[in-house]
Structure 1
Amino acid sequence: MILLKVVLPPLLILSASLAGRRWGDAVGGWLVGLPLTSGPVSAFLAVQYGAEFAASATDGSLVGTAAQGCFSLGYVLLARQGWTIALLGGTMAYATAGFLFQLLPLSHWGVFVLALLTLSASAHLLPHRTLVRSIMAAPWWDLPGRMLIATVIVVTLTAAATLVGAKTAGILASFPVFGAVLAVFAHRMSGASAATQVLRGMVLALYGFATFFFVLGLCLTSLGVITAFFAAIASTLLVQLGALRFIQRGQMLKTA
């Protein structure tokens, strides 16, 4: 179990990061919108604490999904003020939204609908007419740093899950660490428009993120852990393919 926690998350992050560098900022944002850390966290929670505990954590992950939409919108609205202020504003938006949303007396279906509505509002409000395709040259420590952060998140949250509770663990695991890192790099190297492109790609990818945890929460206790994860992954891939085509179509229109 320890070996899997140390090996699996960094490998997922490495693969996604290399693909993002190959195909550009928006696709990079789409990739970091995948449940690359929160997905493994859910798997380890199910193995260590049982299917019911992991199912409860999916509600927190859906709350975190909605809060990620708020993070992206908060960052972009403050992007012209510099990346430091934008990152602080996005983080505050995430924390505030996560705190308020988790107080709502919603069922699993209700939290899923909340996530979809919040993402739709964020996607609508995020600027998308100034996006340009670019490939970022990240510093040498970028990939090792992402891999280390992913490992620390997975190990720490699975160890502390019983202390903070299933729902809080889901919310914490959903904070867009890699989306924030990618947005800041894009912001520093190419300006506010590039950061907006990253976060718009991430928001569009979060529909698949929400689908993953919605299906997972429905199936964990009824179908078993392995079947539930297969169903969640398959559902996510279908949604993600649609989001990727939407992003690529937007890039083609901008370069036409």
Structure 2
Amino acid sequence: MNLLLLKLTLIPSVIAFVTLAIRKWGNKLGGLIGSMPWVAGPILLFFIFEQGKAFGIQAIQGTMTGILALISFCLSYSIFSQKLTWGPTLLLSYVIYTATAVVINYLQLNLLLSYALVMGSVLLALRFFPIPTGQPASSRRLPFDIPIRMVVATLFVLVITGLASVLGPNWSGILTPFPILTSILAIFSHSLQGSNATITTLRGLVLGLLGFTTFLVLQAYLLPSFSIVVSFGVAFVVNTIINLVASRVG
């Protein structure tokens, strides 16, 4: 299949699935589902198809930096959402995301150290996540909200993969977990259901990063020796198992 056609069909389908999952199973489980490698996985796959397997493997280290920045985004958005509307909350969270990414990238950590730092940061962030006060407001839906989400996410993937050769593997990796899907989930839950729904969704997403991060680290070790199908398949199963366990204890 043509890669452009794959991008234009796969990503919108993923966004629609995650949105419908949240509506069916609630914000916490929806956040866990949203943390699966629905967007970052295909982006890594497109890196490999378009730039080569070595490029994709090198990008994983940068992606770890992006995940640390994503954790800071989720925590800060949850905190600010209690007092602010979605506009200033999003802007402040993006600033914190960017600052975190720049600092972590400057440290030039190796993959295993980055992995340990991400896992520790997830647990620490969950410890300090705000506690929802009361129940989420009754759900409202904007007309055409799913198509809007689909278009925004697809444009992001097209831009990141299109600029990969210019950005190089490190910055391409850093931008891979950029909170585009997370922002969509946060904005819609914040504006339509209130801060409590947003906190619950983002907490579920951060909890799911335990599995998502493991998925990426496994790619660094599996891709050099196995096919893409085997590497992604094994890592996806491990990711799912971790998320199932996390949903029980988190």
Establish whether TM, by shorter chain, passes 0.5. yes
- Is structure 2 residue 24 aligned with structure 1 residue 35? no
Q: How far does residue 131 in structure 1 lie from its aligned partner after superposition?
A: 6.0
- Is structure 2 residue 156 aligned with structure 1 residue 153? yes
Q: How far does residue 51 in structure 1 lie from its aligned partner after superposition?
A: 1.3
Structure 2 equivalent of residue 104 of structure 1: 107
Give the secondary structure class of the aligned counterpart of 1:221: coil
TM-score, scaled relative to structure 1: 0.89
TM-score, scaled relative to structure 2: 0.92
Structure 2 equivalent of residue 143 of structure 1: 146
Cα distance change on mapping 1:203 and 1:167 into 2, 3 Å? same
Q: How far does residue 117 in structure 1 lie from its aligned partner after superposition?
A: 1.6
Structure 2 equivalent of residue 57 of structure 1: 59
Range with greater deviation from structure 2 (39-48 or 174-183) = 174-183
Cα distance in structure 2, aligned partners of 1:201 and 1:104: 28
Q: How far does residue 245 in structure 1 lie from its aligned partner after superposition?
A: 2.6
Residue of 215, 218, 232 corresponding to 1:215? 218
Structure 1 equivalent of residue 236 of structure 2: 233
Q: How far does residue 185 in structure 1 lie from its aligned partner after superposition?
A: 2.1
- Is structure 2 residue 245 aligned with structure 1 residue 242? yes
Q: How far does residue 97 in structure 1 lie from its aligned partner after superposition?
A: 0.7
Structure 1 equivalent of residue 71 of structure 2: 69
**Percent identity between the two aligned chains:** 30
- Is structure 2 residue 39 aligned with structure 1 residue 24? no
Q: 1:173-188 residue pairs with structure 2 within 5 A? A: 173-188=176-191
The number of residues matched between the two structures is: 247
Give the secondary structure class of the aligned counterpart of 2:139: coil
What letter corresponds to residue 234 of structure 2 in structure 1?
A
Cα distance in structure 2, aligned partners of 1:189 and 1:151: 23
Q: How far does residue 144 in structure 1 lie from its aligned partner after superposition?
A: 0.6
What letter corresponds to residue 229 of structure 2 in structure 1?
I
Cα distance in structure 2, aligned partners of 1:222 and 1:147: 34
Q: How far does residue 143 in structure 1 lie from its aligned partner after superposition?
A: 0.7
Range with greater deviation from structure 2 (124-133 or 136-145) = 124-133
| CA deviation string 1:44-81 (max 9, x = no partner) | 11112111110111112111111111001111222213
Checking the alignment, whether the CA contact within 8 Å between 1:13 and 1:147 is kept in structure 2 is yes
What letter corresponds to residue 60 of structure 2 in structure 1?
T
What letter corresponds to residue 35 of structure 1 in structure 2?
P
Q: How far does residue 41 in structure 1 lie from its aligned partner after superposition?
A: 0.5
Give the secondary structure class of the aligned counterpart of 1:138: coil
What letter corresponds to residue 37 of structure 1 in structure 2?
V
Residue of 10, 13, 16 corresponding to 2:12? 10
Q: How far does residue 103 in structure 1 lie from its aligned partner after superposition?
A: 1.6
Give the secondary structure class of the aligned counterpart of 2:224: helix
Q: How far does residue 135 in structure 1 lie from its aligned partner after superposition?
A: 6.4
| CA deviation string 1:210-242 (max 9, x = no partner) | 111111122112223222111221111111111
Checking the alignment, whether the CA contact within 8 Å between 2:136 and 2:195 is kept in structure 1 is no
What letter corresponds to residue 76 of structure 2 in structure 1?
G
CA RMSD of aligned residues (A): 1.8
Q: How far does residue 91 in structure 1 lie from its aligned partner after superposition?
A: 0.9
Structure 1 equivalent of residue 192 of structure 2: 189
